[in-house]
């Protein structure tokens, strides 16, 4: 099983402020210049656009660079973008697998990357440095879209329905025992059974476990005794939850291990956690020159649900397949390419 650190660290990292890591990123960029971003390497297949994309105006003559961060989902989506643009006729430079949100963002700001997939929550909280998320998914997207265009000349295309945010998962056995499908039902669970597997960072943050428990009427201390907490590294939580070390495990909602370990994510029915819908972000000058990019990504984004990303991520992290192959097979299956 390919449980790499790239899959776990970035989700926590994107919640931190950009300032915490920007210094190292700036040094890397300024000392290496435009050649500082190494390509991801490896073969990325191409084909022809098909189905609803078949009549899209060709991108012949366009030279585009596509980036991604260095965790499974973002690499997978980056490869998907490369395949689509190559199939539309563009010459594409593969700059996926950039280490960390700060470096990837700086590459966008510097114009080294024409486009990459980003998350609305990351854009709002980390990049644009707003303290409070916007609970409504659409309003969150619109706010990020408008501010990033005005300040940084970056165009956020309409987001996918997928939301890769924090969540809490249970085994099927726990779900059946306590008849629980959503977080608002935590109060029904006996206090002694409100046991949580979490990473240390999440425990005391107001936007983490402490805030979530308060929101759902089982506050840390009186509702969930601290002795009920089991602290693990992020990647170990999935296995610990699956093997009964706790009843409720911290997860990221599109992580492929949820599928592999037969876990069930509880609904955040009071909308506590920030929304992290993914959107393809493009340089404004690139979009003006090649407006057909928006038409290429629109139907693809609509298909990217949580269930789809759960399955695709699992093919990489659990089955050991290459992200480019997984991306190609899905695009072909959905009749976007042939």
What is the rounded average pLDDT for all residues in the chain?
A: 89
Would you say residue 48 has pLDDT above 90? yes
Query: Is the residue at 77 inside a domain?
Result: yes
28 and 143 housed in the same domain? yes
78 and 134 housed in the same domain? yes
95 and 20 housed in the same domain? yes
15 and 72 housed in the same domain? yes
pLDDT at 37: 59
174 and 156 housed in the same domain? no
pLDDT at 36: 52
Model pTM? 0.84
Give per-residue pLDDT as tens, 9-36.
Answer: 344 343 333 333 333 333 334 333 334 5
90 and 186 housed in the same domain? no
Which pLDDT band, with edges at 50, 70 and 90, does 38 fall under? Answer: low
pLDDT at 162: 97
Give per-residue pLDDT as tens, 185-231.
Answer: 999 999 999 999 999 989 877 778 999 999 999 999 999 999 999 99
Query: Is the residue at 97 inside a domain?
Result: yes
Give per-residue pLDDT as tens, 258-297.
Answer: 999 999 999 999 999 999 999 999 999 999 999 999 999 9
SS3 track for the chain: CCCCCHHHHHHHHHHCCCHHHHHHHHHHHHHHHHHHCCCCCCCCCCCCECHHHCCCCCCCCCEEEEEEECCHHHHHHHHHHHHHHHHCCCEEEEEEEECCHHHHHHHHHCCCCCEEEEEHHHHHHHHCCCCCCCCCHHHHHHHHHHHHHHHHCEEECCCCCCECCEEEEEEHHHHHHHCCCEHHHHHHCCHHHCCEEECHHHHHCCCCHHHHHHHCCCCECCCECHHHEEECCHHHHHHHHHCCCCCEEEEECCCCHHHHCCEEECECCCCCCCCCEEEEEEEHHHHHHCCHHHHHHHHHHHHCCHHHHHHHHHHHHCCCCCHHHHHHHHHHHCCCEC
Boundary (domain end) residue, out of 265, 294, 318: 265
Query: Is the residue at 1 inside a domain?
Result: no
Query: Is the residue at 338 inside a domain?
Result: no
135 and 233 housed in the same domain? no
Give per-residue pLDDT as tens, 104-143.
Answer: 999 999 999 999 999 999 999 999 999 889 999 999 999 9
Indicate which CATH number applies to the domain containing 295: 3.40.190.10
Give per-residue pLDDT as tens, 134-160.
Answer: 999 999 999 999 999 999 999 999 999
Residue with tokens 């790499």: 4
Nearest to 144 by CA among 122, 112, 117, 166: 122
List the domain range (segments joined by +) for residue 203.
166-265
pLDDT at 100: 86
170 and 158 housed in the same domain? no
Query: Is the residue at 106 inside a domain?
Result: yes
Would you say residue 4 has pLDDT above 60? no
Mean per-residue pLDDT, 242-247 = 98
Query: Is the residue at 270 inside a domain?
Result: no
221 and 325 housed in the same domain? no
């Amino acid at each position: 099983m390919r449980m790499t650190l790239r899959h776990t660290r970035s989700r926590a990292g994107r919640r931190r402020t950009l300032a915490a890591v920007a210094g190292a990123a700036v040094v890397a960029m300024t000392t290496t210049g435009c050649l500082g971003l190494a390509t991801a390497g490896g073969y990325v297949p191409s084909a022809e656009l098909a189905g609803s994309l078949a009549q899209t105006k060709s991108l012949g003559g366009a030279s585009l660079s596509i980036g991604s961060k260095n965790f499974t989902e973002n690499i997978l989506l980056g490869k998907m973008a490369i395949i689509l643009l190559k199939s539309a006729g563009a010459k594409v430079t593969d700059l996926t697998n950039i280490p960390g949100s700060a470096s990837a963002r700086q590459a966008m700001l510097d114009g080294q990357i024409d486009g990459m997939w980003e998350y609305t929550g990351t854009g709002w909280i980390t990049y644009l440095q707003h303290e409070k998320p916007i609970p409504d998914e659409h309003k969150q997207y619109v706010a990020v879209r408008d501010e990033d265009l005005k300040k940084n000349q970056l165009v956020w295309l309409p987001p996918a329905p997928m939301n890769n945010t924090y969540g809490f998962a249970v085994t099927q056995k726990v779900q059946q025992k306590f008849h629980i499908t959503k977080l608002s039902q935590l109060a029904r669970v006996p206090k002694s059974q409100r046991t949580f597997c979490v990473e240390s960072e999440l425990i005391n943050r107001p936007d983490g476990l402490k805030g979530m428990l308060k929101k759902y009427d089982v506050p840390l201390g009186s509702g969930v005794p601290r002795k009920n907490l089991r602290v693990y590294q992020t990647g170990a939580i999935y296995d610990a939850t699956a093997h009964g070390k706790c009843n409720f495990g911290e997860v990221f909602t599109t992580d492929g291990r949820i599928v592999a370990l037969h876990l069930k994510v509880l609904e955040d029915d009071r909308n506590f956690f920030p929304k992290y819908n993914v959107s393809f972000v493009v340089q404004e000058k690139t979009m003006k020159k090649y407006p057909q990019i928006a038409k290429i990504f629109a139907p693809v984004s609509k298909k990217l649900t949580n269930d789809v990303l759960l399955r695709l991520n699992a093919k990489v992290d659990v089955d050991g397949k290459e992200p480019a192959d997984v991306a190609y097979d899905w695009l072909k299956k959905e009749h976007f390419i042939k």
